[in-house]
Amino acid sequence: MRFFQIILLIVLTTSCDYFRKPKEPLAVARVGDDFLYQKDIQNLVPKGTSKLDSIAIVETYLDRWATQKLLFNGAEINLSQEKTEEYEALINQYKIDLYTKGYLEQLVFKKIDTIVTEDQIKEYYEKNKQFFKNPTELVKLRYINLVKENPKFENIKAKFTSFAAKDINYLEDLSIQFKSYAFNDSIWVDINQVFQKIPFINLENKEKYLVDGINYQYPDSTTVWLVKVNKVLPKDSATPLQFLRPTIKQVIINNRKLELIKTIEKEITNDAIKNKKYEVYK
């Protein structure tokens, strides 16, 4: 008999834990039947925030939460049925659009070909370059700025004018002596960059100093500028491929995405028709 009493006591003791109501999360605010719990705001305040600032952040959040809840509850009561149905339709459509977009992006990510060759970029550019107009003048040029007293000035000037491969190497070896320089005259540079790099050239005198093929030197108070302008591209001319290559690559990829989305949507619809998941009743 004693044995059965012990067993019953053990069962009753463990049953107390089993049937005990689970500990509820700690609420910090309530609006009607809606509660805001401590866990909802535990990451609200950044680490290192002072006590006063922490209190202010939490209070602002609580007030905002309460205001939204109160307004929402008021809207549910006071908005007309017609307006409520309109909003519910918008919510449902937004949910459909959001899920659809996410699913399509996932499918496209798995299938899209993001490799764009140089030939594809050039082909797109040639077909569409009339639509790309550069907003400012573009310039191809080279320059050196060096002190007037440089003992190798005449030799540097001759090498700068000739600019054969060995001359470029010679100038690059001496570049530590230059105050500034740019040797890559095969790329287009925006004229505003020219104004920044070569300060004696500006909007008022650009027609004098930026002319196709011009080669000159310009002395200022302590230095001399050597400048060779290869070519100037007028404003509103077709933008060179150099500036458009990244943009065109992205356009090509985006066009592929659009085509792939159309294909996916068509395949899904056709499969549904084939499997009798989609029917149109006549």
In one-letter notation, the amino acid at residue 175 is S
Residue whose pair of structure tokens reads 């200022």 in the numeric block: 220
pLDDT category at 1 given cuts 50, 70, 90 is: very low
13-27, 121-135, 204-218, 232-246 — which is least confidently predicted?
13-27
Beta-strand pair 215-219/223-233? antiparallel
pLDDT at 8 (0 to 100):
36
Predicted confidence (pLDDT) at residue 11 exceeds the cutoff of 50: no
Mean pLDDT value of segment 212-234: 95
pLDDT category at 239 given cuts 50, 70, 90 is: very high
pLDDT at 223 (0 to 100):
95
pLDDT at 282 (0 to 100):
80
pLDDT single digits (tens) 186-203: 999 999 999 999 999 999
